[in-house]
Amino acid sequence: MDESRRPEQSADPLGAIRNVVLLHGIWSHGVGMFVIRRQLEREYGARVSFFNYPSIRGSLDSNARALKRFIDRSGLDAVHLVGHSLGGVVALRMLATHPDAPPGRLVCLGSPLTGSRAAEFLKATDWGEGLLGSTLPAGVLHESANEWGTHVCAEREVGIIAGNVPLGVGRIVTDFGGPSDGTVAVSETELAGARDHLVMPVSHRGMILSRRVADQAWSFLKRGEFLRETD
C-alpha cells in the first residue's frame, strides 16, 4: 500500500488493538478470506484468526455464543471483528447478546442488515429453505439487524462496506431496486447508528479478494472511519 495512504496511528485505545477475528459468510469457510488476512498481517502487523461456524446447520444464537466462547478461549482482552455477509450478522448478534464481550470495533462487509431480497426469494421456493439453513432467516428475514442490533451502535463503533458491482446470482432471481453487489443491495447493508458506511466498486465475492477493501477495513479498525479521497 502507498505509504501516503496508510491509516494514521491514533491515540485512540481501540486503534492500538492488533487482534482481529474474521468471520466468513454463508456456504463458505474462513480460508475464503485469506486475502484480507494476509493484507492485515503483512501490511499492518495484525494478529488475525478465522472463526469458522456452521452457517447452515447452526442457529443464529448458537453461532453467536460459539463466537463469544472462541474469543474467551483465545484469552483476548480486546479484539476487532470483520464479518463478510452473514458473518457480519453473526458478529453483530454476538455483540448484541453479549455486552460483556471484549472491546473492539466491527466491520461488516456486504452484510444484509436490513433484510435480503435474494434470500426472501430462495426461502419462498421448495428447495431454497434448506439451502438457507436457520442462521440467515433468524438474523435477516424473521427480524433484521435493524430490529435487534441497533443498540450495539450506541456502545461500539460499527463500520460497513458495501459493493456496487452487480456480479452474483442474486441479480438473476430478484430486482434489487438500486445498486447492489450482485447478492446484497447497497440499501440492505445500512444499519441505523453505524459509525461509517462506504460503497466500493466490488462485487459480493470480490470484496473479500480485494486488498483495497482490506485496507479500508483496517482504516476503520484503527481510526473508527474509512479513508476518503480527501484524507
pLDDT in tens, 11-32: 799 999 999 999 999 989 889 9
6/162: higher pLDDT = 162
Helix (H, G, I), strand (E, B), or coil: what is residue 90? Answer: helix
d(CA 48, CA 64): 19
Q: Is 71 exposed, middle or buried (0-12, 13-18, 19+ CB in 10 A)?
A: buried
What are the Cα distances from residue 218, in Å, to 98, 101, 137, 162, 166? Answer: 24, 20, 29, 15, 24
Main-chain phi, psi angles of 47, to 5 degrees: -105, 105
* Closest alpha carbon to 205 in 48, 24, 47, 71: 24
Tell me, what's the pLDDT at 171? 64
**pLDDT score, position 121:** 82
Q: Where are the domains of the chain?
A: 13-222
Question: Could you tell me the pTM of the whole model?
Answer: 0.91
How far is residue 8's CA from residue 231's CA, in Å, rounded to a whole number? 10
In this predicted model, which residue has the larger pLDDT, 179 or 4? Answer: 179
Instruction: Please say whether the structural domain 13-222 has been given the CATH code 3.40.50.1820.
Output: yes
Both ends of the chain: CA-CA distance in Å? 15
What mean pLDDT, rounded, does the chain reach?
92
What is the reported pLDDT for 144? 97
Q: If you count DSSP H runs as helices and E runs as strands, how many of each does the chain have, helices first?
A: 9, 6
Using CA atoms, how far apart are residues 166 and 123, in angstroms rounded to an integer?
Answer: 21
Q: What cell was used for 81?
A: 471483528
- Alpha-carbon dihedral angle through residues 10, 12, 18, 19, given to the nearest 10 degrees: -150
- pLDDT, residue 3, reads 46
The stretches of the chain forming alpha helices (DSSP H) are 34-44, 60-74, 86-97, 117-123, 128-132, 135-136, 145-148, 170-173, 211-223
Cell of 143: 427480524
C-beta of residue 98 within 8 angstroms of C-beta of residue 68: yes
Q: What is the arithmetic mean of pLDDT over 126-150? A: 89
Q: Please, what sign has the CA dihedral across residues 131, 117, 158, 9? A: positive
